Structures are given as structure tokens and as C-alpha cells.
Amino acid sequence: MDMDIYKNARKACLLLEDGSLIQGYSVGSTEDAYGELVFNTSVVGFQQLLTDPANENNILVDTFPMLGNYGVVEGEDDLSACHAAAVVVRDWCPTPSNYRSTGSIDQWLEQKGITGLFGVDTRALTRKLRDGGVMKALITCKEINDSNKEEFLERIRDHQDKTPYWKNKNELEISPVSGKKALIYDLGARADVIAALNARGFSTIAVPAAMSAEEILSQEPDCIVICGGWAGDWDLSTEKKTIAELEKSGVPMLGIGLGHQLMAELAGGKVEKMKVGHRGANCPVTELSSGRTFITTQNHGYVVASVCSSKAQITHVNSNDKSCEGLRYLDFPGMSVQFVPESETGRKNFDHVYETFLNLLEK
């Protein structure tokens, strides 16, 4: 394989809604990609990131300068059903070194239908987003110049995000384990959440968001996990109504990501869009009851900006900006976190989210 990734590479460009035009080269799919341009500071895990439901309709800027140097590892995708709109990298590795590798990132991107752009100063682009905030953008292999730029900017402004993939799901996904039953209300559930519950002895049933509270409770779950990724500005009134009815059942509930935000809103809280979001594997969170600070993985662009103290108690805050990262609910047995709980068991688990939640089942 030719190690010069620039040799014979097709030219492509990134156009931001503020008119900035950045030239680069195409990798992966060559289809036009529209989305919200965001950055993530994770060093590894590109497969998980690009198939994380929270990145649906996002164009992801990877701040690490090299992507794909350990190749593609079978089974590392978070979900096969959805993926990010596109990815922007400084460089990618055509010759990965890893005994588990089954292919290179360019092949994987093309297989997934993910548009990629490389040869870009991602540090400068990240600073631009950090200072000015996330914005809509387009990656295309078409030539953009002064004569047609406005036409492409109009397309960016008019582009409508596709419906979240979980809105169209209608099947149950069952992972049988001998033990108690955890029901996952799927608003874009991560594979590692299901694996974490299975590892703790729970059978899991992931049900579609269209299922009513009555149908959900007919499954006789021992606990309910509201797990979600991306929703954008889509109307979630039906999902909120279902969650509100589930809260009245008395079944212990855990909200993760989007689930945390919806449960907070139902408890009188307010959710706001962030300037840049929290996206990375190095986000510090402080547990207020103990004062412990630990590192978490996060991937969200909205935040719980305020809570109703008579209905919910803040349990965790972001150690940097002091935003709400966790809540304990006072009117029903429930808790929620914005970050991704650690799936490991034993000494490798630092946040104890699942263990704290499981204690609610014993009360």
C-alpha cells in the first residue's frame, strides 16, 4: 500500500455557515455531508465515536492529529444502525499496526457511508469552534468559489437534519441473562450501557420509543433505564409523556444522556443548548456527597441549566464549568447522569453509578 495518503487523493472542502471555506482531501464516502460541526478531544475510540447515537447528524472534528493508527477492530462499533454525518481529521493512517486490526479507517468509513475530510489544521478549526461555538457546515468534493459560495451557504441554512434513527425503531432487543429484568427505553441506547447491565446480572429488553407506558410496564421490569443520544430540536412531547407515566409506577429509573435531560425537564428543570458542548473521554466530574472527582466520557451539546430543588437534588457537577452532571429525584425512586457511566465492574469502576442505582432496587 502506498503510504502517501495525499498521492492521488481527491480534493474536497469544508464550508461553515459563517462563510469560512477550508480546503482538504476526501477520505471514505464522497457524498455531500451536512451537519453540525463539533469537536471531540478523545485520543482513541474513533469507531465508538462515529457510531455513537449522540453524534448522529454531527460532523465530528477529531482534535487528535492522527486517526486510525491501530486500525479497525471488529466488534468495536457502538451501533451499526446509525453514525455521524462526517469526520474531519488532520491525518489518517493507511498502515495500521494492531494484531486485532481487520482493516484501515478509509475502508471502514467508505463501508459505513461516512464522509471524511483530511489535510486540515484541526487545531485551528477547534479553536474557531471553541471561541465562536458549534455551527452548521458542509463537506463536499464539489468546487466552491466566490461565484457559487452563496448557493452552498443557502443549502446549509436550508438543510433539515434527518429524523433520529431511534424514532423509526419498532422492534424489541432482548439480551437474556438469568436475573432481574432491566427495561431500556431506547432513545438511542449505547451498546456499552446494555453490556454494563448484563455484566451486573440483568436481562435487558430495549423497547422502542413509540411503545406506551402501559405496554412497557406490562413487561414487568425490575428497573427502567432511559438511555438516549441525539435528538436535536425534534419534538419529544410524546416521549416525555411516556416517561412521566413511568415515573408514577414506582419502578426505579435511571436516566443517561438524553434521558437525564428529559427527566430533569419533567422535574421542573430547564435544558439549554451549550456553546460547544462536552465531548471527550477526559471530562472531570465531582460527586457532591463525597467530594470525589473522577474522569468521565461525555458526548452532548445540551445541558441541564437549572433544577427545581423541591423535586430533584444535584448529585454531580462538572468540575470545570460546574454544570449539572447528575440528579437524584425526590418524588420517585430515580436518578440520572449526563455522562456515560463506567461499564467496568470492580476496582476499575470509579463513578459507581450503576451500583448506586442498583441499591434503589433493594429499598
Please report the pLDDT score of residue 169 as a whole number.
Answer: 86
CB atoms within 10 A of CB 309: 11
Residue 43 per-residue DSSP state: S
CA distances from 104 to 5, 90, 101, 229 (A): 12, 16, 8, 27
Confidence band, pLDDT 50/70/90 cuts, at residue 83: confident
Give, as one character, the DSSP assignment of residue 209: T
Q: How far apart are CA 43 and CA 62, in angstroms?
A: 8
pLDDT tens digit string along 46-74?
A: 999 999 999 999 999 999 999 999 999 98
* C-alpha dist (Å) from residue 122 to 67, 87, 330: 12, 11, 44
311: which DSSP letter? Answer: T
CA distances from 149 to 13, 33, 201 (A): 12, 16, 56
The pLDDT of residue 342 is 84
Per CATH, the number for 11-158 is 3.50.30.20
Residue 346's pLDDT is 62
- Calculate what percentage of the chain has a pLDDT beyond 90: 82
Residue with cell 458526548: 299
Spatial CA neighbour of 27 closest among 106, 138, 120? 106
In the chain, what is the straight-line distance between the N-terminal and C-terminal CA atoms, in Å? 60
What is the number of other CB atoms lying within 10 angstroms of the CB of residue 358?
A: 20
pLDDT value of position 343:
78
pLDDT tens-digit readout, 1-53 = 446 899 999 999 999 999 999 999 999 999 999 999 999 999 999 999 999 99
Confidence of residue 76 (pLDDT cuts 50, 70, 90): confident
Per CATH, which fold does 165-362 belong to?
Rossmann fold (3.40.50)
The domain spans of the chain are 11-158, 165-362
Query: Which secondary-structure segment (H or E) carries 12?
Result: strand 11-16
For cell 444522556, name the residue. Answer: 257
Tell me phi and psi for residue 88, to 5 degrees. Answer: -120, 125
CA distances from 106 to 8, 76, 118, 260 (A): 14, 16, 11, 35
